[in-house]
Amino acid sequence: MSDVTDFDSLRRAMAENAEEPEGPARNARAEQLLAEAEKLGIPLAVIEALGHQLKVYNYSSEKDKMFVPFARLLRMWDERPEDFDEYETHSLHWVFKWMSSGMLDQPHVPLASIEKWLGEMEHRYRLAGHSERAVRSAEFSVAAHVGDVARAARAYGAWLAADRDSMADCHACELHGQGWWQAEQGRDTEALELWAPVLEGEYACAHEPHTVLASSLAPLLRLGHVDEARANHLRGFRLVRAMESMRGAYADHVEFCVLTGNEARGLELLAERPAYFTDTGHPRSKLEFMAVVALLMDRLSGLGLSEERVPGPAGRDWTAGELAAHARAQALALAAGFDGRNGTDHVSERARARMEQRPLVERLPLGVRTAARPQAVAMPVSAAAAAPDGSEGADAQADLPALLAAARRLSDTLQPNAIEAWAAVSRAAEGVELHALDRAEIADHRAMDLGPEGIPLFEEAAELYAAAGDPGEALAARARGAYVSALAGEVAQALTAVAGLYDRVLALYAEDGTGVRQTAAVLMSRARILMRRVHGAQDAVPEAVLADAETAAREVLALVDGRAGDDDVRLASRAAEAQAMLAELAALTGDVEGAAELFARASAEFIGAGLPWFAVEYEARLAGLAHHLGDTTEAERALRAALEHGGPHLEAPGRAQLHLQLAEVLGGRGLSEEAAEHALEAAHWADEAGESRTLGAWARQQLGGFLLRQGRFAEAAEVLESALHDLSAETHGDGAVVQTQWWLGDCLSELGEHREAAERRLQAAEIARHWPEQHDHATLAHLAAESLGHAGLHAEADQAYARAGALWRTLGNVHGLVRSLRARAWLALRVEDVEGRADTASELMASAVRECRAALEAVDDDAARERLVAELGHTHRQFGDLLARSATEDAEDESIRTALEEALSQVTRAIAVFVSLGEDALHDRTGAELAAGWLEADLSRPSEAAARARAVLVAYDGHDEDDEAAQERRAEAGQMLQVVLEQADAEQADAEQADAEQDTA
């Protein structure tokens, strides 16, 4: 049975359908409603149903269906215009514009027909008395589409010169079109200037700022404004994601991903919208989409990933190479269809230019989670460090002396890429007879590169060093092997092995059989092993273990003391590392300040030796200690230094950690903008390190919080939603999950997505419900209630407020309890068709007053008392407002008067309460005074109202002129005086007229 029984039920059904998501289901419902409208036998019902159908077609992928209902509407207008009311008359003329653009978007509609339609539109608009602004805008669209620049420029000028009237597109849409034209002509700066009012929220509509945000992406990138481009992508994609009709804008966001090195995110976007590959109702947006798909697939193929599996049209699996060919063919075929219709090659030229673009930014971190950037091959090793590709064989062997010299130079100066250089030597040396020392060094560095698997190679290297006549270096190689064994967990065996090596090298050194460098190498390996024993100790570290490690570190220092400046960076490195060991030991024994000083000294020595990359770890440790000591300035300095010193040598996980730590420090100092930049970098490097689900989630959570602090709610929401995919109580703690949900709820609330905000807040509250401390649970329940109320879910909101109120009562938080009661009172008044709703609301507000008064009787703290007195004043004030609001216009006069008198009584009490608080409550008092004045006026007491207005003016006599609240109060008081004086004059005139009539009688 149909739910449409009359015209009103039809209108309700159409309104409900209009709120449904765009798509075929909504369109099908509109078609059903048209059939129902035809059964009613009311011409206007059919007209409205046709208009509804036309609108949902326009905002969907089935735009080609618009023409039939419009043709029928136009025929009905021509036959019986009196059947159209004022709104439908306006709507009919309004959608002429949709027909114009709709025809242009369908290549099967001849250009001559479109030109004829333009003439028809101009004629009908002139008959209806409309400006030609909309007509010239439509003409501009036609000219720009076919590539007639001269005509487009003329129409553009005429469009802007014509008067704006009710048929003109909204400001937001007009500015989008004007900015688009500037960008098309290569004037990106002018385009962005035109778009600024839309981007800043001054103008908006159903499709704006959605399309402006999308259109702005490429111009911003071309101008180098990458931060704005990133922000507009996050804001804009959030808006278009759920809108089926915005395939063209969606394509702009995919294009942005390709132009910024975010190919993986581009693939994710394609996967979200499989229907976009095949929807045929709007050929122009399909052309735009397929051109961008080709752009992305060509980019992947260029990275050597043509065989990568990618999302594509349903029905088969696709590789990037296959989809590139398919998308390009589709785009060019569609473009050829338009050009065939238009008689130009303009559309094809634009499509080819779009598909041939190259990235504008190597990689722009976005903050949202995505896979690491696809890489076809590893980055080539620097020529200074390794042989180029294909250098094996005779050419490589010819370069072997140079490679050996380069590798020795890099390892002697402890350069980060020394191991890679020795690997290149190893490859080039295959099949070549070498001196024992050369083979020893190759084996030694190969062992260092392999970790535990390279332990046998250390022994091989030692034998070769011995054969080459360097017994000290042989002992050093074996000591290095012992240390690697300790790293693998065999600490006891390593200590035994290094003890003998230690004795032998000291004896050899005493006999001048080896140098300081080799001796220091053995002593340092021994110290490192002893430090491993310290770190491996369970619970408290025995004093003897600590003492052994400290002695070993000091032995290294004693050996190299005074020698580190002999241009041997190895010795300088040993001294610095020994200082760092002493710092670690100091930290373990609780000497935090001493540890910080020693880490600072170690870092300084590494930097002084020209080895800043070795200082990174110690600056990071120093930052942690400084933070522990409450010295955020030093913590910030150390973290910045670590990032600077690490430079390009920092690996992705370490870089992510440092950026995240610096973000947290900066955020703690209130520097949200810079903190957000570092959190963004942390998220990017965590993704690069393959730690998206762990460290990356933390970074995104922090980034979302910093964006929220800046009021960048849409960006923050996108980032926080991304973080929630990976945050888990098991990995990150339920506190992080709750905080993220909480922040996301705040963002969604600011964005007006109240139902979704309530869902997030309720989810967070459910987790917090199990915590021992219930304040967060109560706060989240209260916030969820607010969101439910804003979403129109009054019953659910009341339940949530009741839950929050019970929690506030348990916590002894009177302010929270009173506010929940006041909120419930207002909700009760909003419930329609419920008998006694005003009484329920009044009783809830009275309960809030009683709770305030009861708390005041029990409080003995002056500051707490003052806050409670203020709460009581606000409650009385709201009680008065509520009573005044409950006096409905259809009530009896005496009932209305009684409600207003009660309202005045409550507001008067509020005034008295605020007076007791003195100057601090001045604005609250005068606000209540003005509310009382308006009530006096409603009760026909102009003199009392005037007295209250004058009291407000006196209260602000000589007050600060820059105080906005004071200015607003003065203005309202002046307005009230004018109104009530006019009221008094009118009453006096009425009285005089009544007296005159009585005298006449």
Q: Inform me whether the pLDDT recorded for 1 exceeds 50.
A: no
What is the DSSP track for 518-529?
Answer: HHHHHHHHHHHH
User: Max CA-CA distance within the chain?
Assistant: 141
Of 139-143, 742-746, 995-999, the one with minimum mean pLDDT is: 995-999
Q: Phi/psi class of residue 23: alpha, beta or left (left: φ > 0; alpha: ψ in -120 to 50)? A: left
More confident residue, 158 or 392: 158
pLDDT of 992 reads 66
- Mean per-residue pLDDT, 780-802: 95
β-bridge mates for residue 310, sequence order: 318
* Structure tokens that stand for 809 in this block: 């009562």
Rounded Cα–Cα distance for residues 602 and 621 (Å): 11
pLDDT of 424 above 50: yes
Residues 502-559 pLDDT 10s = 999 999 999 999 999 999 999 999 999 999 999 988 678 899 999 999 999 999 999 9
Region at 373 (left for phi over 0; alpha for psi -120 to 50; beta for the rest): beta
The answer for residues whose C-beta is within 8 angstroms of residue 440's C-beta and 6 or more apart is 461, 462, 464, 465, 467, 468, 470, 473, 477
Residue 995 binned pLDDT confidence (cut-offs 50, 70, 90)? low
What is residue 962's predicted lDDT score, i.e. its pLDDT? 78
DSSP state of 318: E
Mean pLDDT of the chain, nearest integer = 91
Instruction: List Cβ<8 Å contacts ≥24 apart for 533-542.
Output: 533/486, 533/491, 533/495, 534/584, 534/585, 534/588, 536/491, 541/588
Distances (CA, A) of 387 to 383, 395, 555: 6, 10, 40
Question: HEC states along 943-991?
Answer: HHHHHHHHHHHHHCCCCCCCCHHHHHHHHHHHHHHHHHHHHHHHHHHHH
Report DSSP state, residue 258. H
Residue with tokens 């099949």: 431
Cβ count near 431 (within 10 Å)? 7
Span of 50-54, 574-578, 753-757, 956-960 with lowest mean pLDDT: 956-960
pLDDT in tens, 296-332: 999 999 999 999 999 999 999 999 999 999 999 999 9
Q: What is the pLDDT of residue 387?
A: 41
Per-residue pLDDT band for 403 (boundaries 50, 70, 90) equals very high
For residue range 61-85, list pLDDT tens digits in order. Answer: 888 898 899 999 999 999 999 999 9
- For residue 981, the model assigns a pLDDT of 84
> String of b and e for 945-964 (b: at least 16 CB within 10 Å)?
bbebbebbeebbeeeeeeee
- The pLDDT of residue 119 is 93
Residue 275 has pLDDT above 90, yes or no: yes
SS3 752: coil
User: Is the link from the previous residue into 942 a cis peptide, with omega within 30 of 0?
Assistant: no
When pLDDT is cut at 50, 70 and 90, the band that residue 566 belongs to is low
Residue whose pair of structure tokens reads 């009932």 in the numeric block: 895
**Structure confidence at residue 833 as a pLDDT band (50, 70, 90):** low
**Judging by beta carbons within 10 Å of its beta carbon (0-12, 13-18, 19+), is residue 730 exposed, middle or buried?**
exposed
**Share of residues in the chain with pLDDT > 70 (%):** 94
Q: CB count, 10 Å around CB of 37?
A: 26
Tokens of 693: 């689900």
The pLDDT of 338-365, averaged and rounded, is 96
Distance CA 119, CA 132 (A): 11
The residue among 507, 428, 440, 510 whose CA lies nearest residue 480 is 440
Q: What's phi and psi for 319, nearest 5 deg?
A: -100, 165
Task: Give the DSSP per-residue string, 628-660.
Answer: HTT-HHHHHHHHHHHHHHHGGG--HHHHHHHHH
Helix intervals (H) in 105-170: 111-127, 133-146, 149-161
Q: CA-to-CA distance for 93 and 88, rounded, in angstroms?
A: 9
Task: DSSP letter for 689, please.
Answer: T
Does the pLDDT value for residue 390 go beyond 70? no
Query: Alpha-carbon distance 742 to 776, whole Å?
Result: 10
Tokens of 748: 């969604």
Size of the chain, expressed as the number of residues it contains: 1001
The token pair that represents 50 in the structure block: 């046709």
pLDDT more than 90, % of the chain: 81
Characterise 243 by phi-psi region: left (phi > 0), alpha (psi -120 to 50), beta (else): beta
Q: How confident is the model at residue 398 (pLDDT cuts 50, 70, 90)?
A: low
Task: Give the SS3 label for residue 668.
Answer: helix
Q: Give the 3-state secondary structure of residue 815.
A: helix
pLDDT at res. 682: 95
How many CB atoms are located within 10 Å of the residue 853 CB?
12
**Mean pLDDT for the stretch of residues 742-764:** 96
DSSP 8-state secondary structure symbol assigned to residue 319 = E
pTM metric for this prediction: 0.84
Does the pLDDT at position 24 exceed 60? Answer: yes
Q: 749-774 burial, b for 16+ CB within 10 Å, e for fewer? A: bebebbebbbbbbbbbbebbeeeeeb
Task: Write a three-state SS string for 65-105.
Answer: HCHHHHHHHHHHHHHCHHHCCHHHHHHHHHCHHHHHHHHHC
pLDDT above 90: residue 996 = no
In whole angstroms, give the CA distance from residue 759 to residue 615. 47
Banded model confidence at residue 212, pLDDT cuts 50, 70, 90: very high
Q: Any long-range contacts for 798-802 (C-beta under 8 Å, 24+ apart)?
A: 798/824, 798/827, 798/828, 800/758, 800/762, 801/827
* Helix (H) / strand (E) containing 310: strand 309-310
Phi, psi (deg, nearest 5) at residue 689: -85, 0
pLDDT at 389 over 50: no
Is residue 397 scored above 60 in pLDDT? no
The neighbouring-strand residues paired with 319 are: 309
